Amino acid sequence: MASTSLTLGPHWERFIKSELESGRYTSASEVIRAGLRELEDKSKSLEVLRKHLAQGADQAAKGVFAPDWSVSDILDRAEKRLG
């Protein structure tokens, strides 16, 4: 795999050092890969949520609603999915 050089700045350098000192990770590369995986997961979740919101908006515009769901129910489900 190709190597990539990054300039992270003091904040992220301290964070990576802290993660390494905790013993959770054994290298800076592991910390960064974990962060990128988390970002990828969140991005995918947001993409799915946006798709569902667009579908819901289209259905609402056509007058199609789920009568047993409240806005609160929908927000609770979204919050649980996104963590």
pLDDT digits (tens, 9 = 90+) for 10-32: 999 999 999 999 999 999 999 99
Tell me: pLDDT of 69 over 80: no
CB 52 within 8 A of CB 40: no
pLDDT value for 17: 98
How far is it, in rounded angstroms, from Cα 1 to Cα 24?
A: 23
pLDDT value for 65: 75
What pTM, to 2 d.p., does this model score? 0.67
Tell me: pLDDT of 67 over 90: no
Region 1-18: mean pLDDT is 93
Count the neighbouring beta carbons within 10 Å of the beta carbon of residue 31. 19
Domain ranges of the chain: 10-82
Nearest to 78 by CA among 57, 48, 58: 48
pLDDT digits (tens, 9 = 90+) for 33-61: 999 999 999 999 999 999 999 998 888 88
